[in-house]
């Protein structure tokens, strides 16, 4: 194992403070993405079910399956990153009973995930305990849980009322007690995320949850400018790879049309004798 390999116990113990900088987590879904993320020094690579939206072109995350997640986890884990590899359990892979949940999580672990992430609060305690019993580490996910898109009536900020904030904090404590090693807080008011971070011993990892979490996560395609259309307020773009890619492809199309690609140097040559054979069809 690499000496700088990130592990579940290391992350579990990592509360950001004066000595410990926040955890940096990013999604990746294939080998080049994982290599880039690891070379950049991220602590955790999340094979997120956002795969459905940013790679596979669906409107929401509900269409990806355990097999899809396992396939992409294999691609990421083949790169043997130093970062911890966590894979999302997709919708309906842990909602139909603990034995289904353990069997599905095991598929993801066998594909190379070192932990799984699942969405929900107190209603997931039994599943989390069963996974812990099967030695499968679990990351929690509260706030805007995209698999609840229809129940929420869209992708909107959560925990905005006093009751909803209290419910989120109660859920967070229940998840911690059930054994999660860290927790994503998505699209919740900064003050609520700060309170969760204060009361939990495990690290919180925010997305649209403000600066007081123990870590941050962004979607690979969002931060590199590879997503088109609406950009959520919490996304900071660190690159414009979409625009760069279109420019590069335009250059390619231009060169093909103008017959300036490929040049003779970009092809293979044969000796004159062989050429004569081709020309005159001699054996
Ligand atoms: O699937 C995903 O990308 C996620 C992150 C937004 C946390 O769950």
- Residues 130, 165, single domain; the answer is yes
Distance 50 CA to ligand 1 centre (A): 6
Distance 198 CA to ligand 1 centre (A): 23
- Residues 151, 68, single domain; the answer is yes
Q: Does the residue 129 lie in any domain?
A: yes
* Exposure of 192 in the CB half-sphere (CA atoms within 13 A): 29
Q: Does the residue 277 lie in any domain?
A: no
What is the span of the domain harbouring residue 213?
A: 8-236
Q: Does the residue 282 lie in any domain?
A: no
- Residues 250, 172, single domain; the answer is no
User: What one-character-per-residue DSSP string does the chain give?
Assistant: --TT---HHHHHT---SSSSPPEEEEE--SHHHHHHHHHTT-SEEEE-TTHHHHTS--SSSTT--HHHHHHHHHHHHTT--SSEEEEEPPTTSSSS-HHHHHHHHHHHHHTT-SEEE---SGGGHHHHHHHHHTT--EEEEEES-GGGHHHHTSS-----SHHHHHHHHHHHHHHHHHT-SEEEEES--HHHHHHHHHH-SSPEEEESS-TTSSEEEE-HHHHTT---S---TTPPP---HHHHHHHHHHHHHHHHHTT-SS-GGGS----HHHHHHHHHT--
CA-to-CA distance for 148 and 49, rounded, in angstroms?
13
Is 185 in contact with 202 (CB distance < 8 Å)? no
Q: Among 146, 193, 215, which residue has the most ligand 1 atoms within 8 Å of its CB, making it the best to mutate?
A: 146
Average pLDDT over the chain reads 96
Q: Does the residue 283 lie in any domain?
A: no
pLDDT in tens, 234-247: 999 999 999 999 99
- Residues 200, 139, single domain; the answer is yes
Is 28 in contact with 45 (CB distance < 8 Å)? yes
Q: Does the residue 150 lie in any domain?
A: yes
Domain CATH number, residue 32: 3.20.20.60
- Residues 100, 216, single domain; the answer is yes
Cα radius of gyration (the chain): 23
- Residues 124, 156, single domain; the answer is yes
Whole-prediction pTM: 0.96
Q: Does the residue 169 lie in any domain?
A: yes
- Residues 229, 117, single domain; the answer is yes
250 noted as active-site residue: no
CA-to-CA distance for 127 and 94, rounded, in angstroms?
7
Q: Which of 114, 119, 176, 186 is catalytic?
A: 186
Amino acid 203: pLDDT: 98
Amino acid 273: pLDDT: 80
In sequence order, the 6+-apart residues with CB closer than 8 A to the CB of 73 are 47, 85, 87, 108, 111, 112, 113
Two tokens, residue 195: 């309170």
Amino acid 282: pLDDT: 57
- Residues 221, 261, single domain; the answer is no
Distance 250 CA to ligand 1 centre (A): 32
Q: Does the residue 245 lie in any domain?
A: yes
pLDDT in tens, 56-99: 999 999 999 999 999 999 999 999 999 999 999 999 999 999 99
Q: Strands 84-88 and 115-117, how do they pair?
A: parallel
Q: Among 24, 49, 50, 147, which residue has the most ligand 1 atoms within 8 Å of its CB, making it the best to mutate?
A: 50
Two tokens, residue 73: 């986890």
Task: Please count the structural domains in the chain.
Answer: 2
- Residues 163, 251, single domain; the answer is no
- Residues 260, 185, single domain; the answer is no
Low-confidence stretches of the chain (pLDDT beneath 70)? 279-283
- Residues 119, 245, single domain; the answer is no
Q: Does the residue 215 lie in any domain?
A: yes
- Residues 261, 129, single domain; the answer is no
Amino acid 281: pLDDT: 61
């Amino acid at each position: 194992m690499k000496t700088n390999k990130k592990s579940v116990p290391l992350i579990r113990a990592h509360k950001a403070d004066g000595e410990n900088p926040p955890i940096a987590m990013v999604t990746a879904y294939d080998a080049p993405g994982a290599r880039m993320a690891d070379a950049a020094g991220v602590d955790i690579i999340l094979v997120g079910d956002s795969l459905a939206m940013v790679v596979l072109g669906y409107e929401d995350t509900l269409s990806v399956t355990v097999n899809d997640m396992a396939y992409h986890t294999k691609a990421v884990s083949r790169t043997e990153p130093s970062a911890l590899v966590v894979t999302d359990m997709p919708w309906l892979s842990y909602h139909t009973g603990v034995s289904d949940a353990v069997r599905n999580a095991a598929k993801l672990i066998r594909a190379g995930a070192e932990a799984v992430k699942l969405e929900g609060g107190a209603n997931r305690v039994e599943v989390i305990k069963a996974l812990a019993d099967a030695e499968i580490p679990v990351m929690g996910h509260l706030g805007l849980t995209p698999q609840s898109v229809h129940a929420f009536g869209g992708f909107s900020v959560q925990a905005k009322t006093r009751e909803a904030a209290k419910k989120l904090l109660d859920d967070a404590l229940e998840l911690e007690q059930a054994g999660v090693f860290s927790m994503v807080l998505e699209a919740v008011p900064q003050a609520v995320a700060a309170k969760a971070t204060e009361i939990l011993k495990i690290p919180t990892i925010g997305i649209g949850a403000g600066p007081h979490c123990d870590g941050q996560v962004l979607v690979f395609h969002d931060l590199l400018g590879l997503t088109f259309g609406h950009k959520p307020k919490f996304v900071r773009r660190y690159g414009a790879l979409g625009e760069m890619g279109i420019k590069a492809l335009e250059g390619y199309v231009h060169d093909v049309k103008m017959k300036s690609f490929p040049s003779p140097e970009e092809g293979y040559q044969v000796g004159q004798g062989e050429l004569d054979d081709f020309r005159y069809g001699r054996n």
